Amino acid sequence: MATIGNNNLNAKLVLLGDMGAGKSSLVLRFVKGQFLEFQESTIGAAFFSQTLAVNDATVKFEIWDTAGQERYHSLAPMYYRGAAAAIIVYDITSTESFTRAKKWVQELQKQGNPNMVMALAGNKADLEEKRKVTAEEARVYAEENGLFFMETSAKTAINVNDIFYEIAKKLPRAQPAQNPTGMVLADRPAERSQAASCCSS
């Protein structure tokens, strides 16, 4: 969830996508400004945090970079449950990774936080000559599914910071911290039970 305090927002963000799509490279570029030509596959998930200043607030991202291998798929809900944002990453040179990205989107739509900010990242935009997925195809898909879309390159840093800034701007600002005083709106009893069930996780 995203929690708020004094214009500081803590937001859990998860990266999902096929193995080799460049999730770890995107995070490494965003958090450390680095790019490794040969990145080890993530096992399970890796955790990073990074703080951004957006308008008059600071957003601290708690970033979970999940493993893309199929054998780790069953662990994914542990990471995206309660996440305020997700970046679904595919490789523009691989139609399979784009198909896989669509499966992740469907899974999040069914099981993720309904207010989650979702971004679709077409990574490896520097490999234009090997492109298999057009930007137009991905943009149309993203629009139809309520995601925003950017092509990125962890290698050249194109749009890497931008995609995280866009997410930070789109995060809901009005979310109070987890029921800080246990206050209940007495004039709206019908919503009490809903509010209690939605926020207890």
Query: How many Å apart are CA 141 and CA 104, to the nearest integer?
Result: 13
| Domain span holding position 64 | 7-170
Q: What pLDDT tens digit does each residue of the chain (201 aa) get?
A: 566 556 788 999 999 999 999 999 999 999 999 988 877 888 878 899 999 998 888 999 999 998 888 888 888 999 999 999 999 999 999 999 999 999 999 999 999 988 999 999 999 999 999 999 999 999 999 999 999 999 999 999 999 999 999 999 999 764 444 434 444 444 444 444 444 444 444
Q: Is residue 89 part of a domain?
A: yes
Cβ neighbors of 118 (< 8 A, separation 6 or more) are 85, 86, 87, 88, 105, 108, 145, 146, 147, 148
Q: Is residue 190 part of a domain?
A: no
The pLDDT value recorded for residue 3 is 60
Query: How many Å apart are CA 41 and CA 52, to the nearest integer?
Result: 27
Q: Total structural domains in the chain?
A: 1
The pLDDT value recorded for residue 120 is 98
196: phi > 0 → left, psi -120 to 50 → alpha, else beta; which? alpha
List the structure tokens of 131.
Answer: 């492109």
The pTM assigned to this predicted structure is: 0.82
State whether residue 66 is helix, strand or coil. strand
The pLDDT value recorded for residue 42 is 85
The pLDDT value recorded for residue 44 is 76
Place of tokens 């200043």: 53
200: phi > 0 → left, psi -120 to 50 → alpha, else beta; which? alpha
Task: Enumerate the H helices of the chain as residue ranges.
Answer: 23-32, 76-80, 95-111, 135-144, 160-170, 192-198
Q: Is residue 191 part of a domain?
A: no
The pLDDT value recorded for residue 43 is 80
What CATH number has the domain bearing residue 25? 3.40.50.300
Biggest CA-to-CA distance, the chain? 61
The pLDDT value recorded for residue 1 is 56
Q: Is residue 47 part of a domain?
A: yes
Q: Is residue 45 part of a domain?
A: yes
